[in-house]
Amino acid sequence: MASRKPLVAGNWKLNGSQTLLNEMANVLEDINSQEVDVALFVPALLAAEAVKLGLQTGVQTVSEYEAGAYTGETQAALAKQLGVTYTLVGHSERRHVFGESDEDVANKFAMAQQQGLIPVLCVGETEQQREQGETESVISAQIEAVIQKLGVAALSQSVIAYEPVWAIGTGKTASPQQAQDIHQFIRDKIAQQDQGLSQGLRILYGGSVNEKNSEELFAQQDIDGGLIGGASLKTGAFVSICESAKG
């Protein structure tokens, strides 16, 4: 895993509760260490409470707008004020269910950084795109949209999460080698523009990660932790996954 510190991030999506948050805070109390960062991307309504409980906290999306008449949006500046550290941008459910384009995602990435949040840029191909041999071009375009807008240096204050859409919530995990191949592709692509930045960039894998497959995935050279959906709602499974990212 080179010298990059792994990050294991739970994405609760539209799930979880105050009770689960309290339980999770208890079991995660001693996990964050020199060896692994652990963060929870909770529903925005739980973010302030998660921060109070001492958790490294993320929100699941932010508005691309700074402020104004945008009913229902999550404001990056307010998240930062509450003590939130990260936000996801471009999660596949935002792209495919809510129709966010690469340009929308780049705008959200920019707003997150402008307000002092660390964006976790999610990229990944659909099953059809993989079958048609488009995996690399799709991921390139998703990353390039951010680079075109902000320059490659912006990636140094970010995290990338590779999540093949066909592996999300399906139980169909990418094999460690399949995942490693794409992580290496992403790192090499960024290295063409900034070698040092690419070596320090954390690239997470997401898609049906569980306590049984996490160790082998995280052992891959270019996989620096995971973005965990379903398994982050179970305290025992999530703790095991976090432990498996350590050294």
Ligand X SMILES: O=C[C@H](O)COP(=O)(O)O
- Numbered residues of the known binding site: 11-13, 169, 208, 229-230
Q: What is the C-alpha to C-alpha distance for residues 42 and 237, in angstroms, rounded to an integer? A: 17
Interface residue with ligand X, options 28, 209, 241, 245 (CB under 6 A):
209
Catalytic residue from among 64, 93, 125, 163:
163
Q: Do residues 228 and 11 make contact, with C-beta atoms less than 8 angstroms apart?
A: yes
Which of 6/230 has CB closer to ligand X?
230
> Among residues 53, 73, 72, 71, which one has the least CA distance to residue 63?
73
Q: Do residues 226 and 210 make contact, with C-beta atoms less than 8 angstroms apart?
A: no
Radius of gyration from C-alpha coordinates of the chain:
17
User: Candidates 46-54, 146-154, 216-224, 225-233 — which segment interacts with ligand X by CB under 6 A?
Assistant: 225-233
- Is residue 228 near ligand X by the rule CB under 6 A? yes
Catalytic residue from among 91, 125, 183, 211:
91
Smallest gap, in angstroms, from Cβ of residue 151 to ligand X? Answer: 27
| 102's tokens | 């690469």
- Is residue 208 near ligand X by the rule CB under 6 A? yes
Site for ligand X in 134-163 (CB under 6 A): 163
Q: What is the C-alpha to C-alpha distance for residues 210 and 208, in angstroms, rounded to an integer? A: 6
Q: Is 243 an annotated catalytic residue?
A: no
Smallest gap, in angstroms, from Cβ of residue 12 to ligand X? Answer: 9
- Is residue 169 near ligand X by the rule CB under 6 A? yes
- Is residue 11 near ligand X by the rule CB under 6 A? yes
E strand intervals along 46-103: 56-59, 86-89
CA dihedral 9, 166, 112, 73 (to 10 degrees): -110
Instruction: Report which residue type is found at 209.
Output: V
User: Candidates 26-34, 127-135, 202-210, 236-244 — which segment interacts with ligand X by CB under 6 A?
Assistant: 202-210
Q: Is 127 an annotated catalytic residue?
A: no
| 4's tokens | 């990059």
So which residues are the catalytic ones? 91, 163
Q: Which residues bind to ligand X, rule: CB under 6 A?
A: 11, 91, 163, 168-169, 206-209, 227-231
